[in-house]
Amino acid sequence: MSYRLGLLDQSPIPEGASAFDALQQTVHLAQKAEEWGYSRFWVSEHHYTEQLAGASPEVLISYLLARTNSIRIGSGGVMLQHYSPFKVAENFHVLSSLAPGRVDLGIGKAPGGLPLSTKALQFGTMNGGKDFKERLVFLQKLIEDAVDEHHPLAGIRATPIPPEKPEIFLLGASPQSAQLAADLGVAFVFGLFLNGDIKVLEEAVRVYRKNYPDGCFLVSVAIVAAPSQQEAEQLAGEQKIFKVHLQSGRTVTVQSLEQAHAFGKQADEAYEVEEQASNIIAGTPLYVKDVLTNFHKKYQVDEFILHTPLQKTEERIRTFQLLSPIHSNEDYTNEERDEEYVS
């Protein structure tokens, strides 16, 4: 296989479960991802939601680093519009000092929650969330310990300086984000599970490769794998996404109709909600891997970050096991699988 595979986990809280249960499953999945040969394991940032437990990726990353041995652990991603680049750099320098060479700093442009949580995150600060590019540039300088002598904060260093700096990834779903990543010389992750428009992906690849030929281009995809094509498609068919189209022209994607209406109301402007089938690659392991291989060849994808929207714990873990870079689920008897899922 000429491309790498990583995992993104959002720490979903299944019905009847608790945040404790969800986070323990995240730890378990990270350990399995390491065992199964995945290149990296990322956790997301979501606020003010009872469906997902991962509100603080930096805290969760530190715990996951302590519970694993070799796999890279990172954020998918830190929503920089809310935070001081200096504090983000300090956090990830501490993490990289604890586990040199194992920390990924994925940066996202999205709010990571509803308008009310955005207001809460930025409450009491002078932050309007409108200067993302400037924040990212400053963050990169801090990570590289190279703040310009003409910068208003010339001389500042985000200590401790780790033996090996964290690797920066920019997350996005547009050619504009790809251009920014290329301009800064950082890896780019295109969120295909958020924007399934292949023409947009093609343009993002073209822009990135033209301006940064040696860069690393990743694609984050939603996947569901099962022993049979029918079961995989049935599981995937149960998933929906909802797009909130605001009068101001902005569009956001959420996971439930309830969240969509809450977002529209909290945004305090006219809005419309569009329901869509989730953009999921669903099928047998062979089918999913064939799709990924075709994407790799056609769009020069260096690595795929796999995400599954499934809430059911066993089906989620089985999906990642079936697609393991090291072995196929066909090597397991039913009894061995059942034992592994409940361990």
Assess whether 271 and 309 both reside in one domain: no
| Ramachandran angles phi, psi of 54, nearest 5° | -90, 75
Residue 29 lies in a domain: yes
Identify whether residues 98 and 138 lie together within a single domain.
Answer: yes
pLDDT, mean over the chain = 91
Q: Percent of the chain having pLDDT more than 70?
A: 94
CA 137 – CA 133 distance, rounded (Å): 6
Domain membership flag for residue 339:
no
Alpha-carbon distance of 218 to 295, in angstroms, equals 11
Angle of CA points 332, 338, 343, to nearest 5°: 110
* pTM, 2 dp: 0.89
Residue 221: φ, ψ to 5°: -125, 145
- 183 and 211 fall within a common domain: yes
Same domain, 88 and 44: yes
Percent of all residues in the chain with a pLDDT value above 90, rounded to a whole number: 73
pLDDT digits (tens, 9 = 90+) for 96-117: 999 999 999 999 998 898 889 9
Same domain, 289 and 315: yes
pLDDT band at 128 (very low <50, low <70, confident <90, very high): low
DSSP annotation of 7 reads E
> Region 263-289: what's the mean pLDDT?
89
pLDDT confidence of residue 239:
74
Residue 255: domain span: 240-277
Per-residue pLDDT at 327: 63
Please classify residue 167 by burial: count the beta carbons closer than 10 Å to its beta carbon, then call 0-12 exposed, 13-18 middle and 19+ buried.
buried
Which two three-digit tokens encode residue 251? 């569009």
| Mean pLDDT of all residues in 25-49 | 97
pLDDT at residue 328 tops 50: no
Verify that 296 and 247 share a domain, yes or no.
no
Please, which contacts does 194-200 make with residues 24 or more away whose CB atoms are closer than 8 Å? 194/220, 194/253, 196/279, 200/173, 200/174, 200/175
Long-range Cβ contacts of 125-132 (<8 Å, 24+ apart):
127/81, 127/82, 129/81, 129/82, 132/80, 132/81
Q: Which pLDDT band, with edges at 50, 70 and 90, does 240 fall under?
A: confident
pLDDT confidence of residue 342: 32
Q: Looking at residues 166-189, what average pLDDT do you find?
A: 97
Mark whether 196 and 270 lie in a shared domain.
no
The number of domains in the chain is 2
pLDDT digits (tens, 9 = 90+) for 201-220: 999 999 999 999 999 999 99
Whether 108 and 254 share a structural domain: no
